[in-house]
Amino acid sequence: MQHTDKSCPVGKVATLVGDPCSLLIVRDLLEGPRRFGELENSLGSSTRTLAKKLKVLEHEKIIARKEAPAAAGKDSPACVKYTLTKKGSALKPTIDAMRVFGAKYLR
């Protein structure tokens, strides 16, 4: 069955964060800011897939990409961290409900 009603709120949310990678990014960022490598290690997804998902979530204002300048006198690149926006943080009850459902019914 395909979702055809463009005004359906459930369908819109499912389209935006209905894939495992996006949901797990939000789950991880609910715990605090994360660097790309930390997200990559946690999710076990490919670099390309993760980068693509992060761009979509950033475009939709679910996450924010924050770049901190490199330490003074260091040749290392700037540190980039991802955080949830207010809009992204509003997904917490959904993630919590999924956690409860999974623990109760999917063991």
CA 89/CA 96 separation, integer angstroms? 12
pLDDT digits (tens, 9 = 90+) for 45-58: 899 999 999 999 99
pLDDT digits (tens, 9 = 90+) for 11-43: 888 888 888 999 999 999 999 999 999 999 999
The CATH class of the 9-105 domain is mainly alpha
- Single-letter amino acid, residue 73: G
Single pTM value for the model: 0.84
